[in-house]
Protein backbone atom coordinates (compact mmCIF):
# COMPACT_ATOMS: atom_id res chain seq x y z
CA UNK A 1 0.00 0.00 0.00
CA UNK A 2 1.18 3.49 -0.85
CA UNK A 3 0.10 6.92 0.40
CA UNK A 4 -2.96 7.07 -1.88
CA UNK A 5 -4.15 3.70 -0.59
CA UNK A 6 -4.01 5.07 2.94
CA UNK A 7 -5.93 8.20 1.91
CA UNK A 8 -8.82 6.11 0.61
CA UNK A 9 -8.76 3.87 3.67
CA UNK A 10 -8.65 6.85 6.04
CA UNK A 11 -11.75 8.42 4.46
CA UNK A 12 -13.79 5.26 5.00
CA UNK A 13 -12.50 4.70 8.53
CA UNK A 14 -13.27 8.29 9.52
CA UNK A 15 -16.85 7.93 8.29
CA UNK A 16 -17.29 4.67 10.18
CA UNK A 17 -15.74 6.14 13.34
CA UNK A 18 -18.05 9.14 13.24
CA UNK A 19 -21.08 6.86 12.94
CA UNK A 20 -19.81 4.75 15.83
CA UNK A 21 -19.50 7.80 18.09
CA UNK A 22 -22.97 8.96 17.06
CA UNK A 23 -24.51 5.56 17.84
CA UNK A 24 -22.91 5.58 21.29
CA UNK A 25 -24.94 8.65 22.22
CA UNK A 26 -28.15 6.67 21.65
CA UNK A 27 -27.28 4.12 24.34
CA UNK A 28 -28.53 5.13 27.80
CA UNK A 29 -29.54 1.78 29.31
CA UNK A 30 -28.70 -1.92 29.05
CA UNK A 31 -31.95 -2.39 27.09
CA UNK A 32 -30.81 0.18 24.51
CA UNK A 33 -27.50 -1.66 24.23
CA UNK A 34 -29.08 -5.09 23.71
CA UNK A 35 -32.10 -4.43 21.48
CA UNK A 36 -32.10 -0.72 20.71
CA UNK A 37 -35.05 -0.16 23.03
CA UNK A 38 -37.26 -1.62 20.28
CA UNK A 39 -37.07 1.64 18.37
CA UNK A 40 -35.24 0.52 15.22
CA UNK A 41 -36.51 0.85 11.65
CA UNK A 42 -36.14 -1.73 8.91
CA UNK A 43 -32.82 -0.15 7.88
CA UNK A 44 -31.27 -0.75 11.30
CA UNK A 45 -32.63 -4.31 11.31
CA UNK A 46 -31.12 -4.98 7.88
CA UNK A 47 -27.88 -3.19 8.73
CA UNK A 48 -27.39 -5.25 11.89
CA UNK A 49 -28.04 -8.57 10.18
CA UNK A 50 -26.04 -7.90 7.02
CA UNK A 51 -23.36 -6.19 9.07
CA UNK A 52 -22.93 -9.44 11.01
CA UNK A 53 -23.71 -12.01 8.31
CA UNK A 54 -21.73 -10.47 5.44
CA UNK A 55 -18.24 -10.41 6.85
CA UNK A 56 -14.91 -12.07 6.27
CA UNK A 57 -16.42 -15.47 5.49
CA UNK A 58 -18.83 -14.03 2.90
CA UNK A 59 -16.12 -12.01 1.15
CA UNK A 60 -12.53 -13.11 1.75
CA UNK A 61 -13.56 -16.66 2.72
CA UNK A 62 -15.82 -17.07 -0.33
CA UNK A 63 -13.08 -15.85 -2.68
CA UNK A 64 -10.65 -18.22 -0.95
CA UNK A 65 -12.88 -21.27 -1.49
CA UNK A 66 -13.79 -20.19 -5.05
CA UNK A 67 -10.07 -20.12 -5.81
CA UNK A 68 -9.96 -23.88 -5.19
CA UNK A 69 -13.57 -25.06 -5.67
CA UNK A 70 -15.45 -22.54 -7.84
CA UNK A 71 -19.23 -22.26 -7.52
CA UNK A 72 -19.26 -24.54 -4.49
CA UNK A 73 -18.18 -21.47 -2.54
CA UNK A 74 -21.65 -19.96 -3.04
CA UNK A 75 -23.34 -22.14 -0.43
CA UNK A 76 -22.41 -19.89 2.48
CA UNK A 77 -24.06 -16.70 1.22
CA UNK A 78 -26.86 -18.62 -0.50
CA UNK A 79 -27.58 -20.41 2.78
CA UNK A 80 -27.51 -17.05 4.55
CA UNK A 81 -30.16 -15.71 2.20
CA UNK A 82 -32.35 -18.80 2.62
CA UNK A 83 -31.96 -18.60 6.39
CA UNK A 84 -33.10 -14.96 6.39
CA UNK A 85 -36.05 -15.90 4.17
CA UNK A 86 -37.12 -18.61 6.62
CA UNK A 87 -36.63 -16.21 9.53
CA UNK A 88 -38.89 -13.60 7.92
CA UNK A 89 -41.55 -16.02 6.70
CA UNK A 90 -41.88 -18.32 9.71
CA UNK A 91 -40.00 -17.22 12.81
CA UNK A 92 -40.10 -13.42 13.04
CA UNK A 93 -43.75 -13.14 14.13
CA UNK A 94 -43.67 -15.55 17.11
CA UNK A 95 -40.27 -14.27 18.22
CA UNK A 96 -41.30 -10.62 18.00
CA UNK A 97 -44.60 -11.20 19.79
CA UNK A 98 -42.91 -13.19 22.56
CA UNK A 99 -41.30 -10.04 23.98
CA UNK A 100 -37.97 -11.81 24.58
CA UNK A 101 -34.54 -10.16 24.42
CA UNK A 102 -32.38 -13.27 24.05
CA UNK A 103 -32.88 -16.67 22.46
CA UNK A 104 -32.41 -18.60 25.72
CA UNK A 105 -35.34 -16.64 27.16
CA UNK A 106 -37.56 -18.56 24.73
CA UNK A 107 -36.23 -21.81 26.17
CA UNK A 108 -36.56 -20.59 29.75
CA UNK A 109 -40.20 -19.62 29.23
CA UNK A 110 -41.13 -22.94 27.61
CA UNK A 111 -38.82 -25.48 29.24
CA UNK A 112 -37.34 -23.89 32.37
CA UNK A 113 -34.03 -22.44 33.45
CA UNK A 114 -31.95 -25.64 33.11
CA UNK A 115 -32.72 -25.92 29.41
CA UNK A 116 -32.01 -22.20 28.89
CA UNK A 117 -28.64 -22.46 30.60
CA UNK A 118 -27.72 -25.57 28.59
CA UNK A 119 -28.64 -23.78 25.37
CA UNK A 120 -26.65 -20.69 26.32
CA UNK A 121 -23.47 -22.62 27.05
CA UNK A 122 -23.62 -24.95 24.03
CA UNK A 123 -24.67 -22.33 21.50
CA UNK A 124 -22.07 -19.92 22.83
CA UNK A 125 -19.38 -22.27 21.56
CA UNK A 126 -20.76 -21.97 18.01
CA UNK A 127 -20.93 -18.19 18.21
CA UNK A 128 -17.37 -18.07 19.50
CA UNK A 129 -16.11 -20.02 16.47
CA UNK A 130 -17.74 -17.47 14.15
CA UNK A 131 -15.81 -14.70 15.88
CA UNK A 132 -12.61 -16.69 15.49
CA UNK A 133 -13.31 -17.08 11.76
CA UNK A 134 -13.47 -13.30 11.46
CA UNK A 135 -10.12 -13.01 13.22
CA UNK A 136 -8.70 -15.40 10.60
CA UNK A 137 -10.17 -13.23 7.83
CA UNK A 138 -8.67 -10.11 9.38
CA UNK A 139 -5.26 -11.73 9.63
CA UNK A 140 -5.44 -12.68 5.93
CA UNK A 141 -6.44 -9.15 4.93
CA UNK A 142 -3.87 -7.27 6.99
CA UNK A 143 -0.93 -9.58 6.26
CA UNK A 144 -1.77 -9.51 2.52
CA UNK A 145 -1.50 -5.72 2.27
CA UNK A 146 1.14 -4.92 4.90
CA UNK A 147 4.30 -6.21 6.51
CA UNK A 148 2.59 -7.00 9.80
CA UNK A 149 2.73 -10.53 11.19
CA UNK A 150 -0.27 -12.57 12.27
CA UNK A 151 -0.21 -11.71 15.99
CA UNK A 152 -0.29 -7.89 15.66
CA UNK A 153 -2.85 -8.25 12.85
CA UNK A 154 -5.10 -10.30 15.12
CA UNK A 155 -4.76 -7.77 17.93
CA UNK A 156 -5.68 -4.89 15.60
CA UNK A 157 -8.82 -6.71 14.43
CA UNK A 158 -9.90 -7.52 18.00
CA UNK A 159 -9.39 -3.93 19.19
CA UNK A 160 -11.42 -2.59 16.27
CA UNK A 161 -14.22 -5.06 17.03
CA UNK A 162 -14.22 -3.90 20.62
CA UNK A 163 -14.50 -0.23 19.66
CA UNK A 164 -17.12 -1.00 16.96
CA UNK A 165 -19.73 -2.39 19.32
CA UNK A 166 -18.74 -1.75 22.93
CA UNK A 167 -19.96 1.85 22.87
CA UNK A 168 -23.01 1.63 20.62
CA UNK A 169 -24.32 -1.90 21.21
CA UNK A 170 -27.12 -2.75 18.78
CA UNK A 171 -27.36 0.87 17.62
CA UNK A 172 -23.66 0.76 16.74
CA UNK A 173 -24.00 -2.58 14.97
CA UNK A 174 -27.04 -1.34 13.05
CA UNK A 175 -26.01 2.19 12.02
CA UNK A 176 -22.43 1.26 11.17
CA UNK A 177 -23.65 -1.99 9.61
CA UNK A 178 -25.95 -0.09 7.26
CA UNK A 179 -23.11 2.14 6.08
CA UNK A 180 -20.80 -0.85 5.82
CA UNK A 181 -23.35 -2.70 3.70
CA UNK A 182 -23.35 0.09 1.13
CA UNK A 183 -19.56 0.22 1.07
CA UNK A 184 -18.97 -3.52 0.88
CA UNK A 185 -21.55 -4.12 -1.83
CA UNK A 186 -20.19 -1.24 -3.90
CA UNK A 187 -16.57 -2.33 -3.37
CA UNK A 188 -16.72 -6.13 -3.56
CA UNK A 189 -19.60 -6.04 -6.05
CA UNK A 190 -17.55 -3.75 -8.25
CA UNK A 191 -14.57 -6.09 -7.98
CA UNK A 192 -16.76 -9.00 -9.05
CA UNK A 193 -18.01 -7.13 -12.10
CA UNK A 194 -14.47 -6.03 -12.96
CA UNK A 195 -13.12 -9.58 -12.73
CA UNK A 196 -15.97 -10.81 -14.91
CA UNK A 197 -15.25 -8.12 -17.49
CA UNK A 198 -11.48 -8.71 -17.51
CA UNK A 199 -12.01 -12.42 -18.16
CA UNK A 200 -14.53 -11.83 -20.95
CA UNK A 201 -17.66 -12.80 -19.02
CA UNK A 202 -18.83 -16.08 -17.53
CA UNK A 203 -18.03 -17.87 -20.79
CA UNK A 204 -14.41 -16.79 -20.45
CA UNK A 205 -14.22 -18.44 -17.02
CA UNK A 206 -15.96 -21.56 -18.31
CA UNK A 207 -13.52 -22.00 -21.17
CA UNK A 208 -10.42 -21.39 -19.05
CA UNK A 209 -11.29 -23.43 -15.94
CA UNK A 210 -12.15 -27.08 -15.40
CA UNK A 211 -15.99 -27.06 -15.61
CA UNK A 212 -16.53 -30.15 -13.47
CA UNK A 213 -14.65 -28.57 -10.62
CA UNK A 214 -15.33 -24.84 -10.96
CA UNK A 215 -18.87 -24.79 -12.38
CA UNK A 216 -20.34 -27.53 -10.22
CA UNK A 217 -22.27 -26.43 -7.12
CA UNK A 218 -21.48 -29.84 -5.59
CA UNK A 219 -17.80 -30.09 -6.48
CA UNK A 220 -16.91 -30.91 -2.86
CA UNK A 221 -19.55 -33.67 -2.73
CA UNK A 222 -23.35 -33.47 -2.58
CA UNK A 223 -23.53 -34.30 1.13
CA UNK A 224 -20.75 -31.88 2.05
CA UNK A 225 -22.20 -28.95 0.14
CA UNK A 226 -25.82 -29.56 1.17
CA UNK A 227 -24.81 -29.88 4.81
CA UNK A 228 -22.84 -26.63 4.45
CA UNK A 229 -25.96 -24.89 3.22
CA UNK A 230 -28.08 -26.48 5.94
CA UNK A 231 -25.56 -25.41 8.56
CA UNK A 232 -25.88 -21.78 7.52
CA UNK A 233 -29.69 -21.86 7.33
CA UNK A 234 -30.00 -23.38 10.79
CA UNK A 235 -27.24 -21.14 12.09
CA UNK A 236 -29.08 -18.00 10.98
CA UNK A 237 -32.27 -19.21 12.69
CA UNK A 238 -30.48 -19.90 15.97
CA UNK A 239 -28.03 -16.99 16.17
CA UNK A 240 -28.73 -14.46 18.89
CA UNK A 241 -27.46 -11.52 16.82
CA UNK A 242 -29.93 -12.02 13.98
CA UNK A 243 -32.87 -12.65 16.31
CA UNK A 244 -31.79 -9.67 18.39
CA UNK A 245 -31.91 -7.51 15.27
CA UNK A 246 -35.33 -8.82 14.21
CA UNK A 247 -36.95 -8.02 17.57
CA UNK A 248 -35.40 -4.55 17.76
CA UNK A 249 -37.82 -3.02 15.24
CA UNK A 250 -40.63 -0.65 16.21
CA UNK A 251 -43.21 -3.04 14.81
CA UNK A 252 -43.54 -6.44 13.15
CA UNK A 253 -43.86 -5.04 9.62
CA UNK A 254 -40.55 -3.18 9.86
CA UNK A 255 -38.88 -6.25 11.32
CA UNK A 256 -40.04 -8.51 8.50
CA UNK A 257 -39.13 -5.93 5.83
CA UNK A 258 -35.59 -5.63 7.13
CA UNK A 259 -35.06 -9.39 7.29
CA UNK A 260 -36.52 -9.92 3.80
CA UNK A 261 -34.12 -7.33 2.42
CA UNK A 262 -31.25 -9.35 3.88
CA UNK A 263 -32.62 -12.51 2.24
CA UNK A 264 -32.61 -10.80 -1.14
CA UNK A 265 -29.13 -9.25 -1.10
CA UNK A 266 -26.97 -11.67 0.90
CA UNK A 267 -26.43 -14.23 -1.93
CA UNK A 268 -25.33 -11.46 -4.32
CA UNK A 269 -22.09 -10.77 -2.48
CA UNK A 270 -21.13 -14.43 -2.82
CA UNK A 271 -21.28 -14.25 -6.62
CA UNK A 272 -18.90 -11.29 -6.57
CA UNK A 273 -16.43 -13.16 -4.35
CA UNK A 274 -16.60 -16.23 -6.58
CA UNK A 275 -15.84 -14.16 -9.68
CA UNK A 276 -12.75 -12.69 -8.02
CA UNK A 277 -11.61 -16.06 -6.68
CA UNK A 278 -11.80 -17.74 -10.09
CA UNK A 279 -10.06 -14.80 -11.79
CA UNK A 280 -7.19 -14.97 -9.32
CA UNK A 281 -6.89 -18.74 -9.84
CA UNK A 282 -6.32 -18.13 -13.54
CA UNK A 283 -3.92 -15.21 -13.26
CA UNK A 284 -2.21 -15.93 -9.92
CA UNK A 285 -2.24 -19.74 -9.77
CA UNK A 286 0.39 -19.94 -7.04
CA UNK A 287 -1.05 -17.32 -4.69
CA UNK A 288 -2.22 -18.06 -1.17
CA UNK A 289 -6.00 -18.65 -1.65
CA UNK A 290 -6.90 -16.53 1.39
CA UNK A 291 -5.19 -13.56 -0.27
CA UNK A 292 -7.27 -13.75 -3.48
CA UNK A 293 -9.62 -10.84 -2.78
CA UNK A 294 -7.15 -8.43 -1.09
CA UNK A 295 -4.56 -8.96 -3.86
CA UNK A 296 -7.16 -8.40 -6.57
CA UNK A 297 -8.15 -5.11 -4.95
CA UNK A 298 -4.54 -3.93 -4.73
CA UNK A 299 -3.62 -4.95 -8.27
CA UNK A 300 -6.76 -4.01 -10.20
CA UNK A 301 -8.19 -0.81 -8.69
CA UNK A 302 -6.91 2.80 -8.59
CA UNK A 303 -5.05 3.39 -5.30
CA UNK A 304 -7.59 5.65 -3.55
CA UNK A 305 -10.50 3.39 -4.47
CA UNK A 306 -8.48 0.30 -3.56
CA UNK A 307 -7.74 1.78 -0.15
CA UNK A 308 -11.41 2.52 0.40
CA UNK A 309 -12.42 -1.03 -0.59
CA UNK A 310 -9.78 -2.56 1.68
CA UNK A 311 -11.06 -0.42 4.54
CA UNK A 312 -14.61 -1.56 3.75
CA UNK A 313 -13.42 -5.18 3.85
CA UNK A 314 -11.76 -4.50 7.18
CA UNK A 315 -14.98 -3.01 8.54
CA UNK A 316 -17.01 -5.96 7.21
CA UNK A 317 -14.79 -8.34 9.16
CA UNK A 318 -14.88 -6.14 12.24
CA UNK A 319 -18.65 -5.70 11.98
CA UNK A 320 -19.39 -9.41 11.80
CA UNK A 321 -17.11 -10.27 14.71
CA UNK A 322 -18.45 -7.38 16.78
CA UNK A 323 -22.08 -8.19 15.99
CA UNK A 324 -21.71 -11.85 16.95
CA UNK A 325 -19.81 -10.77 20.07
CA UNK A 326 -22.74 -8.56 21.02
CA UNK A 327 -25.19 -11.42 20.66
CA UNK A 328 -22.98 -13.78 22.62
CA UNK A 329 -22.39 -11.30 25.43
CA UNK A 330 -26.12 -10.57 25.58
CA UNK A 331 -26.85 -14.26 26.17
CA UNK A 332 -24.10 -14.68 28.76
CA UNK A 333 -25.09 -11.49 30.59
CA UNK A 334 -28.84 -12.04 30.51
CA UNK A 335 -29.00 -15.80 30.92
CA UNK A 336 -25.94 -16.60 33.03
CA UNK A 337 -24.74 -13.51 34.93
CA UNK A 338 -28.12 -11.98 35.73
CA UNK A 339 -29.64 -15.35 36.69
CA UNK A 340 -26.83 -16.89 38.73
CA UNK A 341 -24.49 -14.09 39.80
CA UNK A 342 -25.91 -10.56 39.67
CA UNK A 343 -29.59 -10.99 40.39
CA UNK A 344 -29.81 -7.53 41.92
CA UNK A 345 -27.65 -5.80 39.32
CA UNK A 346 -29.09 -2.55 38.01
CA UNK A 347 -29.04 -1.41 34.38
CA UNK A 348 -25.68 0.43 34.52
CA UNK A 349 -24.04 -2.61 36.11
CA UNK A 350 -25.48 -4.94 33.43
CA UNK A 351 -24.19 -2.58 30.75
CA UNK A 352 -20.66 -2.72 32.23
CA UNK A 353 -20.78 -6.51 32.49
CA UNK A 354 -21.97 -6.80 28.89
CA UNK A 355 -19.06 -4.73 27.66
CA UNK A 356 -16.53 -6.59 29.83
CA UNK A 357 -17.74 -9.95 28.46
CA UNK A 358 -17.28 -8.69 24.90
CA UNK A 359 -13.66 -7.80 25.71
CA UNK A 360 -13.04 -11.26 27.22
CA UNK A 361 -14.62 -13.01 24.22
CA UNK A 362 -12.44 -11.13 21.74
CA UNK A 363 -9.26 -11.78 23.73
CA UNK A 364 -10.02 -15.51 23.75
CA UNK A 365 -10.76 -15.53 20.01
CA UNK A 366 -7.39 -13.92 19.29
CA UNK A 367 -5.59 -16.64 21.27
CA UNK A 368 -7.44 -19.38 19.37
CA UNK A 369 -6.80 -17.77 15.98
CA UNK A 370 -3.06 -17.27 16.40
CA UNK A 371 -2.80 -20.86 17.64
CA UNK A 372 -4.31 -22.25 14.42
CA UNK A 373 -2.60 -20.51 11.47
CA UNK A 374 -3.39 -21.29 7.83
CA UNK A 375 -6.94 -22.51 8.48
CA UNK A 376 -9.70 -22.44 5.85
CA UNK A 377 -12.00 -19.58 6.85
CA UNK A 378 -15.30 -21.03 5.67
CA UNK A 379 -14.68 -24.35 7.42
CA UNK A 380 -14.77 -22.53 10.77
CA UNK A 381 -17.88 -20.61 9.74
CA UNK A 382 -19.72 -23.77 8.65
CA UNK A 383 -18.72 -25.54 11.85
CA UNK A 384 -19.93 -22.68 14.02
CA UNK A 385 -23.27 -22.38 12.20
CA UNK A 386 -23.81 -26.14 12.26
CA UNK A 387 -23.00 -26.45 15.95
CA UNK A 388 -25.49 -23.88 17.16
CA UNK A 389 -28.09 -25.02 14.61
CA UNK A 390 -27.83 -28.64 15.73
CA UNK A 391 -28.19 -27.61 19.37
CA UNK A 392 -30.99 -25.06 19.13
CA UNK A 393 -33.09 -25.44 15.99
CA UNK A 394 -35.42 -28.31 16.90
CA UNK A 395 -35.99 -27.14 20.51
CA UNK A 396 -36.70 -23.63 19.17
CA UNK A 397 -39.28 -24.94 16.69
CA UNK A 398 -40.95 -26.99 19.43
CA UNK A 399 -41.03 -24.01 21.80
CA UNK A 400 -42.58 -21.68 19.23
CA UNK A 401 -44.95 -24.01 17.39
CA UNK A 402 -45.55 -27.00 19.69
CA UNK A 403 -45.70 -25.46 23.16
CA UNK A 404 -46.26 -27.76 26.10
CA UNK A 405 -45.49 -30.98 24.22
CA UNK A 406 -41.80 -31.56 24.97
CA UNK A 407 -40.62 -32.73 28.42
CA UNK A 408 -37.82 -30.36 29.51
CA UNK A 409 -35.40 -33.11 30.48
CA UNK A 410 -35.65 -34.61 26.98
CA UNK A 411 -35.03 -31.17 25.47
CA UNK A 412 -31.89 -30.84 27.57
CA UNK A 413 -30.79 -34.30 26.46
CA UNK A 414 -31.44 -33.44 22.79
CA UNK A 415 -29.27 -30.32 23.07
CA UNK A 416 -26.42 -32.29 24.61
CA UNK A 417 -26.67 -35.24 22.24
CA UNK A 418 -26.68 -33.08 19.09
CA UNK A 419 -23.01 -31.95 19.15
CA UNK A 420 -21.96 -35.38 20.44
CA UNK A 421 -23.78 -36.89 17.47
CA UNK A 422 -21.99 -34.57 15.06
CA UNK A 423 -18.61 -35.66 16.44
CA UNK A 424 -19.57 -39.34 16.57
CA UNK A 425 -21.05 -39.16 13.07
CA UNK A 426 -17.59 -38.75 11.62
CA UNK A 427 -16.86 -42.33 12.68
CA UNK A 428 -20.21 -44.08 12.23
CA UNK A 429 -21.64 -42.49 9.08
CA UNK A 430 -20.69 -43.89 5.66
CA UNK A 431 -18.21 -41.90 3.54
CA UNK A 432 -19.79 -38.95 1.78
CA UNK A 433 -22.50 -38.37 4.42
CA UNK A 434 -21.91 -35.30 6.55
CA UNK A 435 -22.04 -35.91 10.33
CA UNK A 436 -24.29 -32.84 10.79
CA UNK A 437 -27.23 -34.94 9.58
CA UNK A 438 -26.44 -37.59 12.17
CA UNK A 439 -26.28 -35.02 14.97
CA UNK A 440 -29.63 -33.48 14.04
CA UNK A 441 -31.12 -36.96 13.67
CA UNK A 442 -29.99 -37.87 17.19
CA UNK A 443 -31.55 -34.68 18.55
CA UNK A 444 -34.82 -35.41 16.74
CA UNK A 445 -34.89 -39.00 18.02
CA UNK A 446 -34.54 -37.83 21.64
CA UNK A 447 -37.32 -35.25 21.24
CA UNK A 448 -39.66 -37.78 19.61
CA UNK A 449 -38.95 -40.26 22.40
CA UNK A 450 -39.82 -37.60 24.96
CA UNK A 451 -43.10 -36.83 23.19
CA UNK A 452 -44.10 -40.51 23.05
CA UNK A 453 -43.26 -41.12 26.71
CA UNK A 454 -45.20 -38.02 27.79
CA UNK A 455 -48.23 -39.15 25.78
CA UNK A 456 -48.11 -42.69 27.18
CA UNK A 457 -47.96 -41.36 30.73
CA UNK A 458 -51.02 -39.20 30.08
CA UNK A 459 -52.96 -42.25 28.83
CA UNK A 460 -52.03 -44.21 31.95
At 170 the pLDDT is 47
| Coil, strand or helix at 102 | coil
At 83 the pLDDT is 94
Q: What is the mean pLDDT of residues 387-415?
A: 90
Structure confidence at residue 342 as a pLDDT band (50, 70, 90): confident
Residue 396 has pLDDT above 60, yes or no: yes
Residue 23 has pLDDT above 60, yes or no: no
**Which residue has better confidence, 100 or 151?**
151
Instruction: Give the pLDDT confidence of 210-257 residue by residue, as tens digits.
Output: 988 999 999 988 888 988 899 899 989 988 778 888 888 888 899 899
At 169 the pLDDT is 46
At 130 the pLDDT is 83
Dihedral sign, Cα of residue 127, residue 325, residue 277, residue 71: positive
At 459 the pLDDT is 67
- The pTM of the whole model exceeds 0.85: no
Question: Domain 3-379 carries which CATH code?
Answer: 1.20.1730.10
At 158 the pLDDT is 87
Rounded CA-CA distance 22/234 in Å is: 34
Of 13-22, 177-186, 195-204, 280-289, the least confident:
13-22
Residue 195 has pLDDT above 90, yes or no: yes
At 21 the pLDDT is 62
The rounded radius of gyration (Å) of the Cα atoms in the chain is: 21
Concatenated DSSP letters of 382-426 = HHHHHHHHHHHHHHHHHHHHSTT-S-HHHHHHHHHHHHHHHHHHH
Q: What percent of the chain has pLDDT over 90?
A: 28
Structure confidence at residue 375 as a pLDDT band (50, 70, 90): low
Dihedral sign, Cα of residue 332, residue 61, residue 166, residue 96: negative
**DSSP assignment letter at 99:** T
Residue 437's CB: how many other CB atoms inside 10 A? 18
- The C-alpha angle with vertex 61 and arms to 443 and 301, in degrees rounded to 5, equals 160
Rounded CA-CA distance 85/79 in Å is: 10
At 30 the pLDDT is 47
At 24 the pLDDT is 53
Q: What is the mean pLDDT of residues 309-313?
A: 88
Instruction: Give the pLDDT confidence of 38-80 residue by residue, as tens digits.
Output: 667 788 788 878 877 888 888 998 999 999 999 999 999 999 9
Q: Where are the domains of the chain?
A: 3-379, 404-460
Q: What is the mean pLDDT of residues 347-371?
A: 84
- The C-alpha angle with vertex 435 and arms to 389 and 328, in degrees rounded to 5, equals 25
Give yes or no for a contact between 322 and 130, defined as CB atoms under 8 angstroms apart.
no
Of 179-193, 373-387, 409-423, the least confident:
373-387
Structure confidence at residue 413 as a pLDDT band (50, 70, 90): very high
Structure confidence at residue 297 as a pLDDT band (50, 70, 90): very high
Give yes or no for a contact between 234 and 389, defined as CB atoms under 8 angstroms apart.
yes
Instruction: Give the pLDDT confidence of 437-456 residue by residue, as tens digits.
Output: 888 889 999 999 988 888 87
Rounded CA-CA distance 310/13 in Å is: 10
Give yes or no for a contact between 326 and 163, defined as CB atoms under 8 angstroms apart.
no
Q: Kindly list the distances between the CA atom of residue 344 and the CA atoms of 196, 336, 339, 350, 386, in Å, as whole numbers in the listed order.
A: 59, 13, 9, 10, 36
Q: What's the mean pLDDT when you consider all of the chain?
A: 84
Q: What is the mean pLDDT of residues 329-338?
A: 81
At 315 the pLDDT is 81
Residues β-bridged to residue 249: 40
Residues β-bridged to residue 136: none
Residue 50's contacts (CB-CB under 8 Å, 6 or more residues apart) are: 177, 181, 262, 265, 266
Amino acid sequence: MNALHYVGAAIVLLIISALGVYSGHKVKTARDFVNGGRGAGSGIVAGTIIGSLVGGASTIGTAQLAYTSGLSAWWFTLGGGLGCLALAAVFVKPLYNSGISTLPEVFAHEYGRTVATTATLLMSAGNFLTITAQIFSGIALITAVSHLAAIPAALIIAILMLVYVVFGGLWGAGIVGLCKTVLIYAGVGGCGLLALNLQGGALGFYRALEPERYFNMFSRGVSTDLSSMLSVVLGVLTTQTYIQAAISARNLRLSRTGVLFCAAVTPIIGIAGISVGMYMKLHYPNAEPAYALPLFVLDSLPPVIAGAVLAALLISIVGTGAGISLGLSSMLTGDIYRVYIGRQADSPKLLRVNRAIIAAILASAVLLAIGNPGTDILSWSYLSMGLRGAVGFLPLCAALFLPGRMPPRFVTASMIIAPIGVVAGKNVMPPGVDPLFFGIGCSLAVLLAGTVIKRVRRIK
